[in-house]
A and B are shown apart, each in its own frame.
Chain A
């Protein structure tokens, strides 16, 4: 196995609802889906966001489009215009999640 950034096997888009952040994460190929399901867990995502997420992380699975929706509560510093952050709507946070390290088989040519 070799370690790569999640960005190599997935892409995503994030957005807000108040102080709640959601990250839609999509496997770049169907065969990557189960590996992501195994490794990109709620606990790992919570740890990855650290102080940025003061609430909970919930993962929802969409198997037929090989995608996941992560919902992070209290994750935008108050949200909307009530946050001191530069990205209070969380537009860039799916990209931040893409830095997470995942272990993939050596033979995967990515």
Chain B
């Protein structure tokens, strides 16, 4: 039976950059997938693209691929990443320029795009498509701020098409994270859109790989003390068969841990109803999943079922919200909790006296109950706590005034306080999400190839 090996090389933009090289050096692989796009990433990229139209993709992907290119070519490993963000064509051009300069002019870069709905918002509205809020049902017209980004989540078939056409590297805009892994399976095994069982198995393999080190012992709540060598954490590898069979493993000699307990945490990560895990290509049912520990950092996963997909793509829009500022001070023994509470009251009184208005606020006392509130144990008489006050305001000036007010409390307020960091905190603008659905007939993914020897 034909089997391919896919490495999960990145869990988000900002994750360990050396994991890709460790995956390539550690042993045989056929593909590496890299997931750059969290919900928040698209709005960051949108801000960058507004300043400079040539931006809008994960710019550090290009130098990273440059470093990895000799190994990718030598080991015949193909790379698939959603690093294209809002400008996958721009990223592809930058990659082609880099590969030519680096002496690999034969490298072909496949591009999947068309997910960016920003240029299409008006025409979609004219077609009568209302991108209603997925949960509240509210009309798109009720979005209260400026729309920053709007992207559809494409599936794996466009990625497979790019590979069919000979791409060595595939970059995409927004696709569902698991599609990065399902794409090569479709390409290698010839899976059809109607083979829901196989597509579901491949999707859940992708789901296990898409968060990188979180599936090989990183952020493991079930026994972090037992995970060897997190400094050299090997990222997870999926061995996928053409029948959809799956073993998750690690390169030998690398840090990390692959056990059923580790994989169960990742399987359940950010999912809703386990009977209906919905992506563009298929609906997966994982309620009957089984895991078998084969020993030596090898776990077999089986029992995923599949159902036909929905008629819609998921859409994620973001818009600008209000301003947020968090300020705080450390208070020490004695009576530090009482002091922090008194200080919070005092700050609010001062804001009232100064006429500084805010829409909402939250007082938290870290070291006591600040993260988990009433769920906390609340130690008696702690040695020190951190008072954090977060405010929601309409304008940056109010945020600035709140920031200034807080530091006056070192001399004018409750005793035994000190700052946590150098300098004063700065406000940030909130970005608010608007999840929606769009009929698959309204838009279509585009695939093109760039580069390659003339």
The chain A residues found within 8 Å of chain B, CB to CB, are 11-13, 15-18, 20, 22, 24, 26, 28, 48-52, 58, 60-65, 67, 69, 71, 77-82, 84-87, 92-97, 99
Contact = CB atoms under 8 A, between A and B. Distances in A.
Contacts of A15: 269-270
B272 A13 contact: no
A98 to B, nearest CB: 8
Interface in B420-454: 428, 430-433, 435
Contacts of A84: 324, 326, 360-362, 390-392
Given A51-B374, A81-B431, A65 B260 contact: yes
Contacts of B195: none
Contact of A64 (B303, B430, B435): B303
Given A22-B270, A52-B375, 9 more contacts: A12-B221, A18-B433, A22-B272, A80-B431, A81-B431, A84-B392, A86-B370, A93-B372, A99-B375
A82 B221 contact: no
A24 B268 contact: yes
20 contacts: A12-B265, A15-B270, A17-B270, A24-B264, A28-B261, A50-B374, A50-B375, A62-B274, A62-B286, A64-B289, A67-B264, A67-B267, A69-B271, A69-B272, A78-B432, A79-B433, A80-B40, A80-B432, A81-B321, A84-B362
B373 to A, nearest CB: 6
A80 B434 CA distance: 11
A77 B430 CA distance: 13
B373 A18 contact: no
Contacts of A48: 375
A61 to B, nearest CB: 7
Chain A at the B interface: mostly helix, strand, loop or mixed? mixed
A24 B289 contact: no
B5 to A, nearest CB: 24
Nearest to B372: A96
Interface string B270-291: 1111110000000000111111
B373 A52 contact: yes
A24 B431 contact: no
A99 B377 CA distance: 9
B371 A87 contact: yes
A93 B375 CA distance: 10
A43 to B, nearest CB: 16
Contacts of B362: 77, 84-85
A13 B151 CA distance: 28
Given A13-B266, A87-B371, A82 B321 contact: yes
Contacts of B270: 15-17, 22
Nearest to B224: A11
Would you list the 7 A-B pairs with minimal beta carbon distance, nearest first? A24-B268, A11-B222, A15-B270, A84-B390, A84-B362, A13-B265, A96-B372
Contacts, number: 130
Contacts of A17: 270, 272
Contact of B39 (A20, A71, A80, A95): A80
Contacts of A79: 433
Contact of A65 (B222, B223, B291, B375): B291
B219 interface: yes
Contacts of A82: 321, 430-433
Contacts of B39: 80
B303 A26 contact: no
Given A50-B375, A80-B433, A92-B372, A26 B288 contact: no
Given A26-B264, A62-B289, A80-B432, A11 B223 contact: yes
Contacts of B275: 60
Contact of A92 (B303, B326, B371, B392): B371
Contacts of A52: 372-373, 375
A36 to B, nearest CB: 14
Contacts of B364: 85-86
B290 A64 contact: yes
A79 B303 CA distance: 33
A13 B274 contact: no
B388 interface: yes
B261 A11 contact: yes
Nearest to A98: B221
B214 to A, nearest CB: 8
A52 B135 CA distance: 19
A58 B219 CA distance: 25
Nearest to B272: A71
